[in-house]
Amino acid sequence: MAAITVVPEGAAPPIPRAGFALLALAVAVLWLVVFEGGLVSQAIGQAGSFFHELFHDGRHLLGVPCD
Can you give the pLDDT at residue 24?
93
Q: What are the Cα distances from residue 56, in Å, to 25, 40, 46, 53, 64?
A: 19, 13, 16, 5, 9
In a domain, 12, yes or no: no
pLDDT tens by residue, 4-32: 877 678 777 777 889 899 999 999 888 87
pLDDT tens by residue, 35-63: 766 677 677 777 777 777 777 888 888 88
Q: Which residue range is the domain that position 62 belongs to?
A: 37-67
In a domain, 28, yes or no: no
In a domain, 44, yes or no: yes
Can you give the pLDDT at residue 1?
62
In a domain, 32, yes or no: no
Number of domains the chain is built from: 1
67 pLDDT tier (thresholds 50, 70, 90):
low
In a domain, 58, yes or no: yes
